Amino acid sequence: MRLPPAMIGHTEAVLREVLRFTGPADGTLSRYFRENPRLGGRERGVIAEAIYGLLRNKSVYTSFSESGTGSAMRRITLLGLADAVGIDALGGLSEEEDIWLRRVMEIDRSHLPHSLKSNLPEWLWQKLSTKFGDEEAMKLATALNTPASLDLRVNALKSSREDVIASLAQAPILAEATPYSALGLRILKKPSIQNLPLFKDGTIEVQDEGSQVLAQLVGAKRGEMVADFCAGAGGKTLALGAAMRNTGRLYAFDISEKRLAKLKPRLARSGLSNVHPVVIAHERDAKIKRLAGKLDRVLVDAPCSGLGTLRRNPDVKWRQTQVGVAELNVKQASILDSAARLVKGGGRLVYATCSILDEENEGIVEQFLATHPDFTLLPVSQVLEEQKIQLEMGDYLKLYPHVHNTDGFFAAVFQRNKVAPKLEAVVDTEAEVDAEAE
């Protein structure tokens, strides 16, 4: 079935907006679709697929678009649409465009230089090449440029993984158990699950397996006091609450009221009542100081470059810069320092990112240990064994899509010494913090 000629114009218009990189690509697409309600579901799907394909392959497409006639933006748009639906499905091509497009699409991309074939910004390719070597870096880049599968987490408060697999099969949706997370499911195709009863009643949540493993590293237990320090929309918060069997007290801190608002309907579905969302002004908010030295476990899923999530968010690699990463490093160190104050003697602190850059990972950890002698690094290998997770790791958790079929994740686990340094006077109770959260 051929697409109407107008589809090229719509895709080009969206692409112009996306390539300004003023915000996430999914937000730009959503806004464009709202402004053009006559676009049908199939048309929206094709445009989105073409745009994400263009973002994944931007370096190669930009190089290819230097040939041909007409505007470079139209040429790069045609390449994206041709990859998404095939040349024969495109309506409105001139004879010259058709000939050019067929010739370009036949180019063997395996012979392109690594720096171009990686489809990464030059600065990022150089970092990965230096760290891993060209061959391994190219495997990583290829995986990052490949769309991710759909991962789900089973809410253990409501069902078992085996029962959910059986229920999904009746949909029919084929799901398989993930290898590392005991509650993870992987769906190789990407069906819409929002209308499934299992989703509506909170039995399943969308969550990458790597993110599930991070939550398990916290080791949250029944009756404990725990904090998800940068909770966002609360994917890990929900996993922690279920691990605590809906007991104890779980704080979900975030500076964004909008992000935390997205957690509330998910909480309602989940059946959790032990979660306390708290909007904070910054990492040193008074609401945090009142809990100093009281928490058993704290997870810091720090704001980061997001370069480990390129399978899902390919625009991130073009929006992020080295200067931006350096600014994040300052914020990451400050947030980790503040979160550490919450941990009581003998308690656990987990620092995590969805980044693959050393300066956001090991660099922050080494800086933290140098300035916090009251914390000790726990080898992740030991924690994984404790959680019965079959992963071979050393001191740190390092997950990569080309090795583990997850997003790129990093985590370090710390334990505070039993005899913690003298803390600031704390006169406020947990109930007062909870009251401010309401």
- Tell me which residues are annotated as active site: 354
Task: Supply the DSSP string of 104-140, one letter for each residue.
Answer: HHTS-GGGS-HHHHTTS-HHHHHHHHHHH-HHHHHHH
Whole-angstrom CA distances from 120 to 85, 123, 157 are: 24, 8, 42
Place of tokens 């063997």: 108
Residue 117 CA to residue 132 CA, distance in Å, equals 16
CB 118 within 8 Å of CB 141: yes
My answer on whether omega of the bond before 172 falls inside 30° of 0, hence cis, is yes
Task: Supply the DSSP string of 209-236, one letter for each residue.
Answer: HHHHHHHHHH---TT-EEEETT-TT-HH
The 3-state DSSP class for residue 305 equals coil
Whole-angstrom CA distances from 213 to 116, 180, 181 are: 33, 7, 6
Whole-angstrom CA distances from 377 to 198, 304, 399, 419 are: 39, 21, 19, 16
The 3-state DSSP class for residue 153 equals strand
The set of residues, in sequence order, having a beta carbon less than 8 Å from that of 125 and lying 6+ positions away, is 114, 115, 118, 137, 141
Hey, what are 86's tokens? 């095939």
Sign of CA dihedral 214, 437, 375, 345: negative
The 3-state DSSP class for residue 348 equals strand
Number of C-beta neighbours around residue 390 at 10 A: 8
